[in-house]
Chains A and B, each alone.
Chain A
Amino acid sequence: MTASGDQVAVIGAGMHPWGKWGRNFVEYGVAAARQALDDAGVTWGEVQFVSGADTIRNGYPGFVSGATFAQALGWSGARVTSSYAACASGATAIAAARAQILAGLCDVALVVGADTTPKGFFAPVGGERRDDPDWLRFHLLGATNPAYFALYARRRMEIFGSTEQDFAAVKVKNSHNGHMNPNARYRAEVTAEEVLASPMVANPLRLMEICATSDGGAALVLSSMDFARRRSISHPVTIRAVSTVTPRFPQTVIEMPNFATDSAAGVDGTLHPGFRRSIALAAYEEAGIGPEDVDLAEVYDLSCALELDWYEDIGLCKEGEAERLIRDGDTAIGGRIPVNPSGGLSSFGEAIPAQAIAQVCELTWQLRGDAGARQVEGARLGLAANQGLFGHGSSVVLAR
């Protein structure tokens, strides 16, 4: 475990509820930022560093989100950065702010991410770009994001014997958690029968088992431990690790938006662990802990089947045992190791740049004991994990 002088405190968290509101993303970001600042007892004028997580679907303001949010809050002369890393954008923005604080360059930083999403499948950004694999995979294959999730799900059924009932059980669990979360978009509890009656989208995945696209915003106030002490915040939640590792060659699992995996023909010997696994391993190593120390986790359930993959990738069980965890209720609130107590993407849908920040908001509230009906009793240490396109992914470890 790192010494406390090497730690960064999470002193404020805030969210704008997820939905399909259709308003300017800046509005969600500012609402979340103000809530996080209030939560921290910090004024906007005290913020020394603004770290924005970018959206690529909202024009130029989205590409320079740090400055966009700073302008909306009122230019204050704070230093600023803007990060894009697909689904990991929020974690990259957290990493940037954390590094500033650890380096002693600032005491208090604001991290903000927000998005407004168009209706329907995520499509590539506009224009004819014949050298962009993300454009080409839609044009040449019609390979949407759920198509890739479905390839993993079918493979899991084949290798580990997952059933469609297992995938539905993940949705049932997450809908129960989301039902108790005022920031979630989908708050109705659903039954396995309802899940299995929803239309097939990309076999074997059904509509209710695939992540929606949402509007939403999330923000955090991070500070040095000294700053937290000066504000009399005893026992703050602290960041123990932020992992943003790239994959290792050869990456032998097909990844969005690629047409092919890496080739393993030019290498000898053993292959590296998969990318998702390596993201969590690096976080555990940096925090000096192991999976057995984790009390709860927020993972990127782009599909219900993928949540099962994550159980194994973050080390909650051995490969092929994830089905047993969901069947035994181990990952429900009140179970051995609750996963996605927030309700997950299943209940939120994805507001890309806000999502990794929202995971950390949930962990923060859980570790403070402020999660209300969703509270995981005795939570001391939490892990968040996600994966985006083109080799971006992240894992954040928080402790109290």
Chain B
Amino acid sequence: MARVKEQLPAVEGWFSTGEEPALIGGRCGTCGTYSFPREALYCRNPDCDAGPSEEVALSRRGRVWSYTDACYGPPPPFVAVDPFVPFCIAAVELATEKMVVMGQVAGHVGVDELAIGDEVELITDVLYEDDDHEYLVWKWQPVTRRDPRPGARSAKAQSAGSTGSDSGALIK
């Protein structure tokens, strides 16, 4: 039986784990401006001269501002599994914070199952692993799973016929 690996965050202090994980952002105690990752030096609002922001948990739910997918494996320092498994990325609007935060989309959801305005929720998931550890990152998970739209092409559908990074080698 496989040994259970210890789970570690892939980045220190950016999100909490557990039943209801959340991004750990900053909130300026003077003007209310949020930040992610937390602004540790100065408030970014030019009309505010406050210093470091207070640590706060950001909203766990938001709506998709836009989305895309990675049909070819990103270069290091991304740790890709071999063979590469395409994934989606969403930029998600948080109403209270009035900001947009990016994240991978959890659960092998394809672009044909996403739409702008969809509600998503923050979860943690394995980003990559080594012999001893699993490294966790935050991801956005659709609150309601959609039926794939006909005609929309997803990374999943295409990857079956693609040969990996040959074409991706050309692009910026």
Contact = CB atoms under 8 A, between A and B. Distances in A.
The answer on A and B forming one complex is yes
Interface in B74-123: 74-80, 87, 89, 91, 96-104, 111, 116
Question: At the interface, is chain B mostly helix, strand, loop or mixed?
Answer: loop
Contact of B71 (A200, A250, A259, A260): A200
A62 interface: no
A388 interface: no
B101 A259 contact: yes
Contacts of B98: 250, 263-265
A201 interface: yes
Contacts of A362: none
B99 A142 contact: no
Nearest to B169: A120
B31 to A, nearest CB: 4
A199 B77 contact: no
Contact of B35 (A199, A200, A260): A260
Interface in B54-90: 65-80, 87, 89
Interface string B25-66: 100100111111100000111111000000000000000011
Contacts of A121: 72, 74-75, 168, 171-172
Contacts of A262: 33, 44, 99
Contact of A210 (B47, B127, B172): B172
Given A120-B165, A130-B11, A200-B155, A254 B102 contact: yes
A203 B33 contact: no
Interface residues on A, range: 35 or more
B9 to A, nearest CB: 10
B34 A122 contact: no
Interface string A196-220: 0011111111010011110000000
B4 interface: no
Contact of B33 (A202, A207, A265): A265
Contact of A203 (B68, B77, B101): B68
Interface string A327-359: 000000000000000000000011000000000
A324 interface: no
Contact of A252 (B47, B76, B78, B100): B100
Contacts of A119: 169
B71 A199 contact: yes
Contacts of A33: none
B99 A260 contact: yes
B144 interface: no
A263 B99 contact: yes
A155 B77 contact: no
Given A140-B10, A147-B68, A263 B34 contact: yes
A142 B79 CA distance: 8
Contact of B116 (A139, A147, A154, A210): A154
B5 interface: no
A201 B71 contact: yes
A140 B137 contact: yes
A154 B66 CA distance: 6
Contact of A260 (B11, B74, B79, B100): B100
A145 interface: yes
Given A120-B75, A141-B102, A263 B35 contact: yes
A138 interface: yes
Contacts of B145: none
A193 interface: no
A256 to B, nearest CB: 11
B162 interface: yes
Contact of B70 (A147, A155, A263, A264): A147
Contacts of A154: 66-68, 116
A200 B66 contact: no
B21 to A, nearest CB: 15
Contacts of A260: 25, 35-37, 99-102
A128 interface: yes
Interface string B117-158: 000000000010000000001000000000000000111001
Contacts of B154: 203
B66 A151 contact: yes
A153 B91 CA distance: 13
Given A158-B66, A207-B170, A302-B172, A265 B34 contact: yes
A203 B97 contact: no
A139 B104 CA distance: 12
Contacts of B35: 260, 263
Given A136-B11, A139-B77, A264-B98, 4 more contacts: A120-B170, A143-B74, A203-B155, A210-B171
CB-CB nearest 6 A-B residue pairs: A266-B33, A150-B68, A266-B31, A263-B34, A123-B75, A264-B98
14 contacts: A120-B165, A121-B75, A123-B76, A138-B74, A141-B104, A142-B73, A142-B104, A154-B116, A203-B69, A203-B155, A212-B170, A254-B65, A259-B36, A260-B102
Interface of A: 119-124, 128, 130, 135-136, 138-147, 150-155, 158, 198-205, 207, 210-213, 249-250, 252, 254, 259-267, 302, 349-350
Interface of B: 10-11, 25, 28, 31-37, 43-48, 65-80, 87, 89, 91, 96-104, 111, 116, 127, 137, 153-155, 158, 162, 165, 167-172
